Amino acid sequence: MTIDTDGPGRRGGRQARRWLRAAVLLLAAGSAPLLAAGVPADWPKGHYPLPEGSDLIGQDYTVEAGAEETLLDLAREHNLGYEEIRRANPDLSVWMPGEDTEVVIPAQRLLPPVPREGIVINLAELRLYYYPEVEEGEVPRVETYPIGIGREGFDTPLGKTETTMRIENPAWYPPESVRQEAAARGEQAPAVVPPGPDNPLGDYAILLGFDGYLIHGTNRPDGIGMRASRGCIRLFPEDIESLFARVPVGTPVHIINRPIKAGWHEGAPYVQAYRPLEAQENGMAQLLEALTLLSQSAAGESMALDYRQLRGVLDAADGQAVAIRPAPAPAPGVAEAESEAGGLYEHLGGQQAVLAAPEV
């Protein structure tokens, strides 16, 4: 017997979101060849030409699970981490989605709102972006990878730094916190863990200017896409191997924590929201932040956005990149009647969020 623990409001909201995602994927199916046409067939998953005049990369799609495949298997194969594939497929079993079950692969993303150079790590979306330098005549590109980051109490630091050293087959020297935890269990932590299958750093490590922090591999790949480290940035073994060979010492690294991203694509404003790492209200401040981000990425004539849709995207915080509709024409007196919007009308003038559209 299945016990329904959701109230009718939650059931309706979840069902509506599933129908919306299905509709988006059906619409995308017709346009996917056009969107993917600019990506060379031999490029790995998660590698894209750097878009000109756009902030959007990738396209959501679906795959069918094999008889023995888990969601974690599919996540790794399709350049996703744990949280991403769980969020996109909330009703599927992680370990037994079932043969021929349709699995959503959320591969559409807005680029982070920071300079597109070197390595950019957005903790809120558990993802790394790499903008490699290219030779004259080469196609500028962006590569993106799922990551694991510091768990609560071992936060990954924010700010700008650079890569300082690359080490193949690194040894791991357990920090004092590990030694203390081992002592509390009546155990003794080793002074050093040599390279090999028991080494949590994996086979490759890229040192950062932040003392004691690295971008490295892992011997526990199921933790990619989660807050599971002691502050370092973990990648799948194959991803760190690829980056290790190509990221030079001195590459700039910008670590941010932006649960809300906003940008433009083909003249339309987009917003993509994630659950914040720390508990915080998902209200007026976030709404204004999204509008500010859109305004910063735009210039030219102003346009009005649908406030209710924008608020819904922020409340869902499901990682979908959503095109925000123009605002409907307000009925007479609607600003006075819509008390639930509170002080938003003072800032934005009724239910219309006004911002500048990009020049074309």
Token pair recorded at residue 165 = 């050293």
Can you name the residues that pair with 167 across neighbouring β-strands? Answer: 205
d(CA 56, CA 52): 10
Confidence band, pLDDT 50/70/90 cuts, at residue 205: very high
**For range 185-206, the mean pLDDT:** 90
The residues carrying an active-site annotation are 216, 232
Rounded mean pLDDT, 7-32: 41
Question: Distance between CA 263 and CA 161 in Å, rounded?
Answer: 25
According to the CATH classification, is domain 118-256 in 2.40.440.10?
yes
Complete DSSP assignment for 244-270: HHH--TT-EEEEE--SEEEEEETTEEE
Residue 271 and residue 269: Cα distance in Å, rounded? Answer: 7
Residue found under tokens 């094999």? 66
- In whole angstroms, give the CA distance from residue 113 to residue 120: 10
**163 Cα distance to chain centroid:** 22
Please state, in angstroms and rounded to a whole number, the distance separating the CA atoms of residues 284 and 307. 11
From CA 296, how far away is CA 269, in angstroms rounded?
12
Least confident of 132-141, 173-182, 232-241: 173-182
* One-character DSSP codes across 11-64: HHHHHHHHHHHHHHHHHHHHHHHHHHTTS-TTSPTTEEEPPSS--EE---EEEE
DSSP for residue 148:
B
Q: For residue 360, how many other CB atoms are within 10 A of its CB?
A: 7
Beta-carbon contacts of 169 under 8 Å, excluding residues fewer than 6 positions away, are 195, 203
Task: Give the pLDDT band of residue 252 (cuts 50, 70, 90).
Answer: very high
Q: How far apart are CA 67 and CA 97, in angstroms?
A: 9
- Among 138-147, 167-176, 325-334, 341-350, the minimum mean pLDDT is found in 341-350
Q: How far apart are CA 88 and CA 63, in angstroms?
A: 12
pLDDT, position 302: 62
Q: How far apart are CA 297 and CA 318, in angstroms?
A: 22
Of the candidates 356, 193, 143, the residue with the CA atom closest to the CA atom of residue 264: 356
Higher pLDDT, 182 or 347: 182
Strand partners, 166: 206
Taking only the tens place, the pLDDT of each residue in 291-350 is: 777 766 555 556 678 888 988 998 899 999 999 988 887 666 555 444 344 334 333 434
Among 19-28, 123-132, 181-190, 276-285, name the one with the lowest average pLDDT.
19-28
**Cα-Cα-Cα-Cα dihedral sign, residues 32, 33, 34, 36:** positive
Higher-scoring residue by pLDDT: 200, 191: 200
Q: Comparing C-alpha atoms, which of 28, 145, 138 is closest to residue 81? A: 145
Q: What is the mean pLDDT of residues 29-44?
A: 59
Domain-wise residue ranges, the chain: 16-110, 118-256, 260-356
Residue 332's pLDDT is: 64
